[in-house]
Amino acid sequence: MTTYYTKDHEWIRVEGDTGTVGITTYAAGQLGDVVYVELPETGAKLARGDDFAVVESVKAASDVYAPVSGSVLEVNSALSDAPETVNAAAEGGAWFVRVKLADAAELSGLMDEAAYAAFCEGL
């Protein structure tokens, strides 16, 4: 199980050909209190870089981009009723979607935990 990060502050935790996607603790902190999460439908096809979800806080509404291509296996519908989970457990319980990876090679373009930490440090 390996976790990768994007410059748009998404994380993806990969097990076999399945990835779990969410936004990072850093992103959730920058957004402030999250009040709404709009998720895609199960079965939706995502291309890398697609905006597939929207996260809305009291300050802003931001798109969430697909770190890799794939199809949506499951969405975390619990976020609709409890969007504040994103602030409490951004990289845990507040995952957005599980996707079936279309091309595992795409992962090589992402950052690992240390690289992402350094990236955030420089912001």
Partner 1 sequence: MRYLPLTCEDRASMLATIGAKSADDFYADVPQSARLKTKIAGLPDHQGELAVERYMTKLAAKNRSASSGPFFVGAGAYKHHVPATVDMIIQRSEFLTTYTPYQPEIAQGTLQTLFEFQTQVAALTAMDVANASMYDGSTACAEAAVMAARVTKRKKVILSGGLHPHYAAATRLLCEAQGLTVVQLTVAIDGEGELARSVDGETACVIGQSPNVFGTVSDLSGVAKSAHDKGALLVSVFTEAVSLGLVTPPGEMGADIAAGEGQSIGNGLNFGGPYVGLFACREKLVRQMPGRLCGETVDADGKRGFVLTLSTREQHIRRDKATSNICTNSGLCALAFTSHMTLLGGKGLKQLAELNHEAACELADALGALKGVEMLTPRFFNEFAIRTPVDAEAVLAMLDEAGVVGGVRASRLFPGDHMGDVILVAATECTTAEDIAAYAAALKEII
Binding region for partner 1 (CB under 8 A): 36, 38, 41, 56, 60-61, 63
Taking the least distance from each CB to partner 1, the nearer of 84 and 112 is: 84
Q: Would you call 29 helix, strand, or coil by DSSP?
A: helix
Taking the complex as a whole, the smallest distance from the CB of residue 36 to partner 1 amounts, in Å, to 7
State both tokens at 74: 């499951």
User: Do residues 49 and 65 touch, judged by C-beta distance below 8 A?
Assistant: yes
Taking the complex as a whole, the smallest distance from the CB of residue 72 to partner 1 amounts, in Å, to 13
User: Do residues 7 and 36 touch, judged by C-beta distance below 8 A?
Assistant: no
Taking the complex as a whole, the smallest distance from the CB of residue 4 to partner 1 amounts, in Å, to 26
Taking the least distance from each CB to partner 1, the nearer of 2 and 80 is: 80
Taking the least distance from each CB to partner 1, the nearer of 64 and 101 is: 64
Distance CA 2, CA 41 (A): 25
State both tokens at 36: 């709404």
Taking the least distance from each CB to partner 1, the nearer of 41 and 121 is: 41
Paired sense of beta strands 10-15 and 18-23, if any: antiparallel
Taking the complex as a whole, the smallest distance from the CB of residue 85 to partner 1 amounts, in Å, to 18
